[in-house]
């Protein structure tokens, strides 16, 4: 085990290149900060933003996650809402909720790219670090999600910080790095425990890459227990607390951990389903590992032929695989879940590009130029193939507020409480209209608002005009059509 520096010093030219790449990546995303959230995965982005808005207006309480889609004042905790709290603080500077969320997302995205560069330089080479940094900045998947209103890159940043700090501790035994790595692991676990899993896998391989001495075993055990081990314990404790709150209300009981097991991990049937596996392959080959799977091919080349130790390359490969392997259904359905392992994938792609260039040029002096050219070609081709071009379009253009939320905002008052049917519990409508209400997911009893609260609702909004509102109202209540065929007033039948 080396007792020397955890990584070599950075030359002036390399440092300036890193600053230039990050500065350019930030500059091209500045217009995106003004985009509205009505884009891909608007459900999740507006869910995040709705909590930020409530925190901004009524104060921050990390033990409460206000999500007024199950009634005004509804508390629906998932992960620790640290991201939402920080974004709410930004709104007090005069920024909008949307911009605050995107700015914070961009900040953690760039922190993630910098930490990835540090790790790749340490384990592989400075040239590989530069290529990985460029891929992280400019691949279409990163353009779409680098400044999104999502908690994902906050969790990724702390996951990478955990690996960088604890890897330093494993090499040098410095307690400050143990402390920093442990706190980063706890934060990652509390912000999004599903992101901790792949980066904890990488940490295991980092430990395996070092010499097997008694000191190494002790340090590895300390890092594992105090870092991701304690992080998982904290996340479990938080999850039990959150479940106790959600289980106390019939409308949110379906969101408890026990109810979401199949949704998160997938059933045996779903794991064997052609449809689910097509969805997984669709994201992996076209959306995240584009263009047309070339990214995954380069990643495999990097895993087997790249520079650096076999342990580190294998660890990166397992980091990419761990997420979809464990949380199959989430990765098959939601492309944004791939954010958790995206940095590891870009690192392997960088190693693959360098390995390909080495073999094409036989180590000729033109190597840096050829590397830059091939990296640029991969990025440009990824930007024009299907899905990649969609992600670039999302990056370039902001959508307007959808028609229905705009009409609801126009036809109801700011203090009106709404019942909503036909769009599950998607917060997009209520967020876009800047209203609170109760979203009736289906016509079962546990999905209906309590009879005692019905008098607080003034309007019913239907996302699907074909639905009959009478099927979704408690006994004794009726919905009266307005001039807008998707908006009704609510009253008692005897009134």
What is the spatial order of strands in the sheet that 457-462 belongs to? 436-440, 417-421, 457-462, 487-492, 477-481
As a whole number of angstroms, the distance between CA 238 and CA 246 comes to: 12
Checking DSSP bridges between strand 417-421 and strand 436-440, what pairing results, if any?
parallel
Checking DSSP bridges between strand 477-481 and strand 457-462, what pairing results, if any?
unpaired
| Cα separations in angstroms, 427 against 38, 70, 97, 133, 371 | 11, 10, 15, 34, 45
Checking DSSP bridges between strand 477-481 and strand 417-421, what pairing results, if any?
unpaired
- pLDDT, one tens digit per residue, over 190-207 is 999 999 999 999 999 999
Is a pLDDT exceeding 60 seen at residue 268?
Answer: yes
pLDDT, greater one: 14 or 291: 14
What is the pLDDT of the chain when averaged over all its residues? 93
- pLDDT, one tens digit per residue, over 403-454 is 999 999 999 999 999 999 999 999 999 999 999 999 999 877 778 888 888 9
Is a pLDDT exceeding 80 seen at residue 131?
Answer: yes
- DSSP states along 122-145: HHT-HHHHHHHHHHHHHSHHHHHH
pLDDT value at residue 2: 45
Token pair in block for residue 287: 């959306």
pLDDT value at residue 365: 61
- pLDDT, one tens digit per residue, over 202-226 is 999 999 999 889 999 999 999 999 9
Residue with tokens 């999905």: 447
Domain ranges of the chain: 12-395, 403-492
pLDDT value at residue 16: 95
pLDDT value at residue 466: 92
Is a pLDDT exceeding 90 seen at residue 369?
Answer: no
| Cα separations in angstroms, 8 against 18, 118, 123, 208 | 15, 10, 11, 21
What is the dihedral angle through the alpha carbons of 395, 401, 403, 406, rounded to the nearest 10 degrees?
A: 180
pLDDT value at residue 1: 43
């Amino acid at each position: 085990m080396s007792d020397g520096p955890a990584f070599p010093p950075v030359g002036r030219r390399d440092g300036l290149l890193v600053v230039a790449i990050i500065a350019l990546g930030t500059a091209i995303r500045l217009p995106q900060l003004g985009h509205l959230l009505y884009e891909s995965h608007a459900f999740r982005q507006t869910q995040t933003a709705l909590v930020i808005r409530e925190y901004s207006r009524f104060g921050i309480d990390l033990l409460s996650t206000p999500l007024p889609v199950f009634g005004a004042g509804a508390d629906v905790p998932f992960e620790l809402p640290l991201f939402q709290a920080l974004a709410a603080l930004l709104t007090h500077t005069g920024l909008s909720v949307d911009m605050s969320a995107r700015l914070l997302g961009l900040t953690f995205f760039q922190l993630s790219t910098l930490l990835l560069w540090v790790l790749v330089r340490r384990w592989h080479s400075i040239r590989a670090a530069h290529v990985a940094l460029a891929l992280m900045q400019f691949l279409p998947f990163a353009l779409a999600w680098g400044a999104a209103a999502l908690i994902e890159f906050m969790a990724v940043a702390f996951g990478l910080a955990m690996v960088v700090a604890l890897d330093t501790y494993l090499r040098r035994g410095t307690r400050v790095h143990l402390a920093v790595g442990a706190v980063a692991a706890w934060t990652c676990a509390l912000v999004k425990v599903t992101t901790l899993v792949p980066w904890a896998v990488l940490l295991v391989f980092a430990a395996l890459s070092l010499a097997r001495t008694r000191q190494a075993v002790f340090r590895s055990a300390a890092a594992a227990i105090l870092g991701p081990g304690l992080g998982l314990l904290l996340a479990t404790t938080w999850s039990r607390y959150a479940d106790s709150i959600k289980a106390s209300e019939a409308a949110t009981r379906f969101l408890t951990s026990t109810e979401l097991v199949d949704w998160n991990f997938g059933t045996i049937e779903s794991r064997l389903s052609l449809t689910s596996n097509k969805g997984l392959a669709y994201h992996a080959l076209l959306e995240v590992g584009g263009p047309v799977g070339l990214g995954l091919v380069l990643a495999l080349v990097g895993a087997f032929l790249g520079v650096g130790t076999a342990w580190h390359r294998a660890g990166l490969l397992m980091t990419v695989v761990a997420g979809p392997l464990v949380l199959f259904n989430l990765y098959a359905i939601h492309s944004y879940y791939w954010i958790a392992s995206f940095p590891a994938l870009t690192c392997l792609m960088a190693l693959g590009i360098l390995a390909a260039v080495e073999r094409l040029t036989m180590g000729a002096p033109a190597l840096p130029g050829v590397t830059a050219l091939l990296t640029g070609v991969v990025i440009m081709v990824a930007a024009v193939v299907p899905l990649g071009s969609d992600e670039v379009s999302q990056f370039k253009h902001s959508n307007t507020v959808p028609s229905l939320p705009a009409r609801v905002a126009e036809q109801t008052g700011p203090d009106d409480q709404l019942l909503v049917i036909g769009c599950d519990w998607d917060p997009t409508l209520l967020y876009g209209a800047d209203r609170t209400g109760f979203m009736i997911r289906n016509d079962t009893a546990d999905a209906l608002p309590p009879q005692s609260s019905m008098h607080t609702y003034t309007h019913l909004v239907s996302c699907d005009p074909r639905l009959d509102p009478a099927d979704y109202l408690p006994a004794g209540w009726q919905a009266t059509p307005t001039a807008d065929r998707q908006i009704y007033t609510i009253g008692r039948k005897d009134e």
